[in-house]
Amino acid sequence: MNKALRKAIIAGNWKMNKTPAEAAALASSIKSLAAQRDCQVVLAVPFVDLAAVGEAIKDSGIYLGAQNCHWASNGAFTGEISPQMLVECGVSHVILGHSERRQYFGETDETVNRRLLAALEAGLHVILCVGEQLSQREQGITREICAMQVKIALGGVTREQMERVVIAYEPVWAIGTGKTATAAQADEVCGAIRQVVEELYDSSVAQALTIQYGGSMNAGNAQELLDQPNVDGGLIGGASLKGEDFAKIIAAASR
Ligand code: PGA
């Protein structure tokens, strides 16, 4: 199997941006700007925007995504949202383990694993984020860090469930900084992650796995990144908030 047979997925991570009214407007504009496309598109929006965005993208084939979920299906977890709640809101994809959650909200590889197992159990697709910090890249331990994050996060995930897992390689130093990994750096680490998945499962699971790059991907650099043999899509923050730029990235993935 080669890259052409893997699903190209472009996901917008809106982070904590857009009120429901603003979100509906942006989603409608993306729906029309990206009407012609040949890749999957996911909009991962704030929880309170799910209903408005779900309505705006109805019948467009664009997938509705969330940015986190808890591992329990219900209970005394003030402020949290369960996977089942997301499913009932029409969500198909959830981002887990984003570096901002690890950095600001105490997320660990172990809690990412618990959330991931629960999300898969509930039927969701997961976009699992991994990536090294700048100091770790400088120490030459990028591969080890990413391998460890992938192995712990995927603990207990079955071969069948891997069909609903996407991995996003997001070097922390490239997120929201305007500093993009070079296409060669992105491809190298995405390839290393594919190798780890092959060791954990087998080559067919690894070859079928969609691996995205994320970190300052924009309308100008998307094509070169997406053309790399191991880069099957993008997880886009800043540029996903601008309809026209996001549509250009979708077009780049559709070639
Ligand atoms: P960025 O964010 O595109 O703004 O760097 C990517 C992400 O955090 O997923």
Q: Is residue 34 very low, low, confident or very high in pLDDT (cuts 50, 70, 90)?
A: very high
Q: Among residues 70, 93, 98, 125, which one is catalytic? A: 98
Which pLDDT does position 26 carry in this prediction?
98
The answer as to whether 39 is a domain residue is yes
216, 240, 246, best to mutate for ligand 1 pocket (most atoms within 8 Å of CB):
216
Q: What pLDDT score does 36 carry?
A: 95
- Nearest Cα to Cα of residue 48 among 107, 87, 89, 100: 89
Position 200 scores a pLDDT of: 98
**Mutation probe of ligand 1 site: the residue of 10, 213, 216, 236 with most atoms within 8 A of C-beta:** 236
Q: Mind listing the pLDDT tens digit for each residue in 152-168?
A: 999 999 999 999 999 99
Residue 1 has pLDDT above 90, yes or no: no
Q: Using the predicted structure, report yes or no on whether residue 223 has a pLDDT greater than 90.
A: yes
Q: Report yes or no on 2 lying in a domain.
A: no
On whether residue 107 sits in a domain, the answer given is: yes
Task: Check if 180 has its Cβ closer than 6 Å to any atom of ligand 1.
Answer: no
Range of the domain at 244: 9-253
Residue 120 beta carbon below 6 angstroms from any ligand 1 atom? no
Active site (annotated) includes residue 98: yes
pLDDT digits (tens, 9 = 90+) for 49-69: 999 999 999 999 999 999 999
**Would residue 104 count as lying in a domain?**
yes
How many structural domains comprise the chain? 1
Decide: 232 in ligand 1 pocket, CB within 6 A: no
The whole-chain average pLDDT of the chain stands at 97
Q: Mutation test of ligand 1: which of 9, 10, 13, 99 has the most ligand atoms closer than 8 Å to its C-beta?
A: 13
Q: Is residue 3 part of a domain?
A: no
**Per-residue pLDDT, 168:** 98
Q: Assess whether the C-beta atom of 212 lies below 6 angstroms from ligand 1.
A: no
CATH number at residue 210: 3.20.20.70
Distance 76 CA to ligand 1 centre (A): 32
Task: For ligand 1, atom 3, name the residue with the nearest CA.
Answer: 237
**Which has the higher per-residue pLDDT, 196 or 3?**
196
Q: Which atom of ligand 1 is nearest to the CA of 235?
A: 9
Confidence of residue 3 (pLDDT cuts 50, 70, 90): confident
Q: Which atom of ligand 1 is nearest to the CA of 168?
A: 9
pLDDT digits 0-9 by tens, 161-198: 999 999 999 999 999 998 888 999 999 999 999 999 99
Any ligand 1 atom below 6 A from CB of 170: yes
